[in-house]
Structure 1
Amino acid sequence: MHLSGRSVLVLLVGLVPVVLLGGRAPVAFAVLALWLLVWAVLVGVDLAVAGSPRAVRLERVVPDRVRLGERAEAELLITSTGRRRLRGVVRDAWEPSAGAVRTRSPLDLASGERRAVRTVLEPRRRGERHALHVTIRSDGPLGLAGRQATRSAPATVRVLPPFRSRRHLPSRLARLRELEGRTSVMIRGQGTEFDSLREYVRGDDVRSLDWRATARRREPVVRTWRPERDRRVVVVLDTGRTSAARIADEPRLDTAIEAALLLSALAASAGDRIDVLAFDRARRARVHSASGSEVLGRVVDALAPVQPQLVETDWSAVPAQVRALVPQRSLVVLLTALDSVGAAEGLLAVLPQLTRTHTVVVACALDPELVEMAADRSDRAAVYTAAAAERSLGDADRLAAAVRRLGGDVVLGTPEKLPPALADRYIALKAAGRL
């Protein structure tokens, strides 16, 4: 049951006789009592005549997936199964991070009628966004009172990463095609895997001459090469507490996901197989041996619900997790933080176990505000701030040097620059035959 604002106003009208007949209290209170009785009867009649909010059937039509930053429309189908007309308001209660633009809608349903209530969603966070309940408020014909019921109507929309870094993909794919010698200007491919033999033409590297084939054909023949294919690329995302730090108004983990998506799409186009692992003290997501056109969809689906965990990452378990994915030599990319000496101790301790078998790249997102603060010398306070920023940047440089001494490679960059920088490092390693 609920009382409307109109009902309260009608009730307050009964106080007028008390004010006007203040000197004749018995009469005033008699009038007030009579008015309260009339008001109670009107409210009771209104409540009895109001349609039942439970006499409805609810169905949902929601999109399975929506990309962060895009709009989606969720539809709630309400069918009246009662005998009375149902007038009132319906509230479709989505969680705040789903970004429902308008959750309350007027409702007017005749018996047996079906209506669709549409709610526009503008999700503010990646992951699973839920709606659990629908509240229906049914008003009586006088608008004084009504009935209210909350019904269970669960729904879930998976909000995918925005993949803003996909704008860098065409230029990196063009570089891969150039590397393989498949551009329209017929640039000779570079790589480390033998591809085929062909007749020597002026400008070819004489070091590529195949002397046995030259002797057989009695004319110069050169070997052509192509980049390595069907290699394994393992991307490990650190989902421990350092991944929760906000950098450029988004969690560090979201930048890591952007870099992982761009690298996965690029490696799949280059003919390599992708493994993705999100890990802290437990495995949060896993994609095993994906290749071809299925890669991006599988990686996006796996990483969409992953959230930072406020625990220290157990780096000692990472080598075993990598071995379970790929026993052979692979490119292992660790997306983590290198801005704190204490937090990186675990990583540095296990890095030699990985570099003995694999080519290891450690990628870290840097806060662009640190660079700006380090350059600001406008006043005394700014100088102290710049000193602190320089110290943080210096810690990152020292940790990067430590990783290189242990046999790893390092890619540092702001959230905007890290994904393309990691893609460039992958292309360089592929051209050098280091995968």
Structure 2
Amino acid sequence: MRWRPARSGGGLYPTARAVLLMAAGAPASLMIGVVWPGLWTIGFGWMLFVLLLLVLDTAMAPGGHQVASDLRLPGTAPVGSRVALTLGITARSRVQSSVDANDRLVPIDSVRADFAAGQTVQTIDFEAARRGIGRLSAVWLRWKGPLGLIWKQRRELRDDRVLITADLRPVREQSQLLIQQAQTGETARRQVGTGSEFQSLVPWSTGMDRRSIDWKQSARHATLLAKDWQIERNNQIMLAIDAGRAMAEPLGGVPRLDRAVSAALLAAYVALKLDDRVGLFAYAEQPIAAGAISAGIASFPRLQRLAAGIDYGTREANHTLGLTRLAQTLDRRTLIVLFTEFTDPTSAELMVRACAPLLQRHLLMFLIYRDEELEGLAAAEPETLEDVTRAVAAQALLRDRAIVAARLKRMGVHIVEARHDAAGTALVEAYLGLKRQGII
């Protein structure tokens, strides 16, 4: 990461020693004034003496140009990981420092550090608490004069950033096994002559599907020939993420949006490895992120950076506007995977209506997280009146979710419902199942 020049602002104020030294003269002046009233002016002399020491200490203290700071942050970090901020100070005296960071970066111990005279480097550790852009806005520096009576302070405004992405360690661990299974299944499909993309004509043999026989070519060559199919490549997959208010609610201690991003990145990695083309789209009350559909595993870092910039929404998602804009970006038949949450019948009805035009041309799949908290409330044995009310409300919400899911299935939408800790794997398996069936 490049060093950025800092804009500085300074200040000057007394230390605790100077305040105590000034205050110490007050009792002595009072005693002298009582015992020797003619010498009451000695009190003013003491204050002038302390002020002179303050001026002398200010003049002898290092100037702002004699204190230099260097700051370094990593470019990216996965959410939940430790972010090491490296701060270097060059000065002729002891320096204390502090840093200002946004809520994406939570200090593990303290943001304050003490630097000895000379050139020293220290590390301040933060935790990447939330996905997004972690910003470091300012560095505070202060140092004393040689008499220890004044503080010189400087605030350096900065714009250092670290991109906090979804944790890709599960993606790398799970994707290898899923890709291996998909490639093994592809080999098996080629052996039995099934699939979705025509490859060549082969002699028909016992055990092959009779529907694969090409009767026209068989008559021409006077022998039975069958069409050999292989898995279709270069499919288009668009990962659409609802970033509205409902997706910011926690599920298992983690916002639904973060879980959706992790599942989307796992599906994107596997699809790119299998030579399909993948894009990313996110919307809340309006579209907030759109990445062009691209191929090759080299495009995965771009999808990762785009996903890291999807912020947590505070308003209801506008499914009509979001899905309409999404449809306008697609130029061919595409598998659209929508990550969303059903909150109430009204918003669900609007979402269902917005999905209907997409089904005329595209294939639509929903990833729905099982709400184990609601299921637990609905299944718990009630002991008080509040428990009965809570169970009835939870059962009503679950029933509304089931009604919406059933309507989507009747429309032709593929529904993937899974636990939050297995949603990514379930999504990839459903995607591979569509490829095996030749539906994509």
* Same fold (TM > 0.5): yes
C-alpha root-mean-square deviation of aligned residues, in Å? 3.1
Cα distance in structure 1, aligned partners of 2:193 and 2:43: 97
CA drift of 1:250 comes to 2.1
Deviation at residue 176 of structure 1 after TM alignment: 1.0
1:310 aligns with 2:320: no
**Which residue in 2 is equivalent to 1:40?**
51
* Structure 2 partner of 1:255: 259
Q: Does 1:433 align with 2:438?
A: yes
Deviation, 1:322, is: 2.8
Secondary structure of 1:93's counterpart equals: strand
> Is residue 243 from structure 1 mapped to residue 251 from structure 2 by the alignment?
no
210-219 vs 264-273, which deviates more? 210-219
Fraction of identical pairs, as percent: 25
| Structure 2 SS opposite 1:157 | strand
Distance 1:217 1:319 in 2: 51
Shift of 1:58: 3.9
Task: Map 1:82-93 onto structure 2 (within 5 A).
Answer: 85-93=92-100
AA partner of residue 60 (structure 1)? L
Q: Quick one: distance in 2 between partners of 1:27 and 1:291?
A: 93
Distance 1:15 1:219 in 2: 117
Q: Mean Cα displacement is larger for which, 372-381 or 16-25?
A: 16-25
TM-score, length-scaled by structure 1: 0.86
Summarize the Cα distance change of 1:139–1:219 in structure 2 as closer, same or farther, 3 Å threshold: same
Instruction: Sort the Cα spacing of 1:412 and 1:25 in 2 relative to 1 into closer, same or farther, 3 A.
Output: farther
The Cα of 1:394 is off from its aligned counterpart by 1.3
1:106 equivalent in structure 2? 114
Amino acid of the structure 1 residue aligned with 2:105: A
Report if aligned partners of 2:243, 2:284 keep a CA contact under 8 Å in 1. yes
Residue 395 (1) aligns with residue 403 (2): no
1:7 is the counterpart of 2:18:
yes
Q: Which letter does structure 1 place at the counterpart of 2:396?
A: R
- Which secondary structure does the structure 2 equivalent of 1:363 belong to? strand
* 1:208 to 1:138, Cα distance in 2 relative to 1, 3 A: same
Superposed CA offset, 1:374-420 (max 9, x none): 22216224343222222221111111012122222222233212222
Shift of 1:241: 2.2
CA distance in 2, matches of 1:285, 1:428: 28
Higher mean alpha-carbon deviation, 245-254 vs 88-97, is at: 88-97
1:225 aligns with 2:229: yes
Query: Where does residue 164 of structure 2 map in the other structure?
Result: 159
Over 3 Å counting, the alpha-carbon distance change for 1:415 and 1:31 in structure 2 is farther
Equivalent position to 1:421, from 418, 426, 431: 426
Equivalent position to 2:187, from 181, 186, 190: 181
The alpha-carbon deviation at position 302 of structure 1 amounts to 0.6
Q: Deviations over 1:122-150 (max 9, x none)?
A: 21111111112111112012222221121
User: Contact 2:287–2:322 at 8 Å: present in 1 too?
Assistant: no
**C-alpha spacing 1:356/1:33, structure 2 compared with 1 (3 Å):** same
Distance 2:181 2:36 in 1: 94
Distance in 2 between residues matched to 1:35 and 1:190, nearest whole Å: 100
Give 1:175 deviation, angstroms: 2.5
Whether contact under 8 Å (1:285, 1:302) holds in the other structure is yes
Question: In the TM superposition, what is the alpha-carbon distance from 1:230 to its structure 2 partner?
Answer: 0.9
Query: After the TM superposition, which residues 2-401 of structure 1 pair with which residues of structure 2 at under 5 Å, given as runs?
Result: 2-14=13-25, 17=28, 24=35, 26=37, 33-79=44-90, 85-101=92-108, 102-110=110-118, 114-163=119-168, 165-166=170-171, 167-181=173-187, 190-198=194-202, 204-205=208-209, 207-208=211-212, 222-377=226-381, 379-380=383-384, 381-401=386-406
Task: Provide, for residues 141-191 of structure 1, a one-character-per-residue CA deviation record: whole Å limited to 9, x for no partner.
Answer: 2222221121223211111111354133233212211221169xx975752
Between 188-197 and 279-288, the greater mean CA deviation after superposition = 188-197
Which residue type is aligned with residue 425 of structure 2? P
Shift of residue 319 of structure 1? Answer: 4.3
The structural deviation recorded for 1:277 is 0.7
Say if 1:382 and 1:29 are closer, same or farther in 2 by CA, change over 3 A.
farther
Q: Is the CA contact (8 Å cut-off) linking 2:166 and 2:261 kept in structure 1?
A: yes
- Report the AA paired with residue 280 of structure 1: A
How much does 1:225 deviate?
2.5
In structure 1, what is the Cα distance between the partners aligned to 2:396 and 2:271?
Answer: 36
Q: Normalising to structure 2: TM-score of the pair?
A: 0.85
Residue range with higher mean Cα deviation, 380-389 or 25-34: 25-34
2:94 & 2:292 partners in 1: Cα distance?
53
Contact 1:99–1:123, Cα closer than 8 Å, also in 2:
yes
Mapped contact 2:104–2:132 kept (Cα < 8 A)? no
User: What SS is found at the alignment partner of 2:187?
Assistant: coil
Instruction: Report the CA distance shift for 1:153/1:116 in structure 2 as closer, same or farther (over 3 A).
Output: farther
CA distance in 1 between partners of 2:70 and 2:193 (Å): 57
Q: Using the TM superposition, give the Cα deviation of residue 197 of structure 1 relative to its aligned residue in structure 2, in angstroms.
A: 4.5
Q: Secondary structure at the match of 2:159?
A: strand
Deviations 1:175-219 (A, max 9, x none): 211221169xx9757522223445667755555455677778887
**2: distance between equivalents of 1:28 and 1:374?**
86
User: 1:367, CA displacement in angstroms?
Assistant: 2.9
Equivalent pairs, count: 426
Seen in structure 2, the aligned counterparts of structure 1 residues 177 and 115 have a Cα distance that, compared at 3 Å, is: same
Q: Which amino acid aligns with 1:150?
A: R
Match of 1:410 in 2: 415
Tell whether the 8 Å contact from 2:286 to 2:321 is kept in structure 1 after alignment: no
Distance in 1 (alpha carbons) for counterparts of 2:137 and 2:298: 32
**Is residue 289–residue 306 contact of structure 2 (8 Å, CA) maintained in 1?**
yes
Deviates more, 1:321-330 or 1:17-26: 17-26
Q: Tell me whether 29-38 or 357-366 shows the greater mean CA deviation.
A: 29-38
Whether contact under 8 Å (2:365, 2:414) holds in the other structure is yes
Contact 1:51–1:87 at 8 Å: present in 2 too? no
How big is the shift at 1:301? Answer: 0.6
Structure 2: distance between partners of 1:27 and 1:337: 85
